[in-house]
Amino acid sequence: MPTGIALRDVRAQLFDAAERVLLLHGPSALTSRAVTTEAGVAKGVLHRHFTDFDDFLAALISDRSKRVSAQAEELLAAAGTGTVVDNLTTVLTSLFTSVAVGIMSLIIFRDELRARLKAAHPSGIPLLSTAGEMISSYLVAERTLGRLSPSADIDALGLALIGSGHLLFAARSEDPSGSVSRVVAGILAGSLR
């Protein structure tokens, strides 16, 4: 006789619970017990689907990187519309008000997670690498449309935008969204046409 209720898309349910814990309580509160409690499932459910908690976190980061890839299509479609500063401000604010800042803290402080991610993604941190590719593709499109200088250093601009966005959101307890536009404008000042 079954003892429980069949769970649908357990991985997504656990990932969403982890995101809620990160947003409400921060990375230091993210434990397997906190995730399963938030998801309303037994602790064993997480360990039935993942070898350990770092395996779960690596899968969470991979899943959230895929979400950034979906954002990339929207940003690329915005090329040539609105202003470059507004488009980048919107995407950076969306990126860093999500779980990205909490995930970066996890990567910094969890050695085993960092090692797993490096083995699977030797070219960088999955979430930030994906975000960097998104911004670079957008900047190339804007340069092709003539809204950025032909000599604009796309790689340097992308790194400056990602790094500054992360620092703005990681360093403050209040929402720094208002500062993002000013910083983006400053970074792009010499490249906008």
Q: pLDDT band at residue 7, thresholds of 50, 70 and 90?
A: low
Which has more pLDDT, 156 or 62? 156
pTM over 0.85: no
**CATH assignment of the domain containing 35:** 1.10.10.60
State whether 71 and 157 are in the same domain. Answer: yes
Q: What would the two tokens of residue 112 be?
A: 């085993």
The pLDDT tens digits of the residues spanning 80-131 come to: 999 999 999 999 988 887 677 888 888 888 888 888 888 887 777 777 888 8
State whether 34 and 100 are in the same domain. Answer: no
Least confident of 36-50, 66-80, 136-150, 173-187: 173-187
The rounded distance, in Å, linking the Cα atoms of 15 and 3 is 24
User: What sections of the chain are H helices per DSSP?
Assistant: 10-25, 32-39, 43-49, 53-77, 84-96, 100-109, 111-120, 126-144, 154-170, 177-188
Residue 148 phi/psi, 5-degree rounding, is -120, 150
4 pLDDT above the threshold of 70: no
Please tell me the total count of domains within the chain.
Answer: 2
- Choose the most confident range, by mean pLDDT, from 4-8, 9-13, 188-192: 188-192
Residue 138 belongs to domain spanning: 64-188
The pLDDT tens digits of the residues spanning 28-42 come to: 899 999 999 999 999
Q: What pLDDT is attached to residue 127?
A: 79
Which has more pLDDT, 17 or 96? 17
1 pLDDT above the threshold of 50: no
Q: Of 64, 66, 62, 60, whose CA–CA distance to 18 is shortest?
A: 60
The rounded distance, in Å, linking the Cα atoms of 144 and 139 is 9
Which has more pLDDT, 178 or 64? 64
CA angle 9, 132, 182 (to 5 degrees): 110
Residue 17 near residue 29 (C-beta atoms within 8 A):
no
How many CA atoms lie less than 13 Å away from 6 in the CB half-sphere? 2
**CATH assignment of the domain containing 144:** 1.10.357
Residue 177 near residue 183 (C-beta atoms within 8 A):
no
State whether 86 and 168 are in the same domain. Answer: yes
State whether 80 and 139 are in the same domain. Answer: yes
The rounded distance, in Å, linking the Cα atoms of 175 and 169 is 7
Q: pLDDT band at residue 63, thresholds of 50, 70 and 90?
A: confident
The rounded distance, in Å, linking the Cα atoms of 108 and 150 is 36
8 pLDDT above the threshold of 70: no
State whether 38 and 107 are in the same domain. Answer: no
Residue 134 near residue 170 (C-beta atoms within 8 A):
no
Name the DSSP class of 7.
P
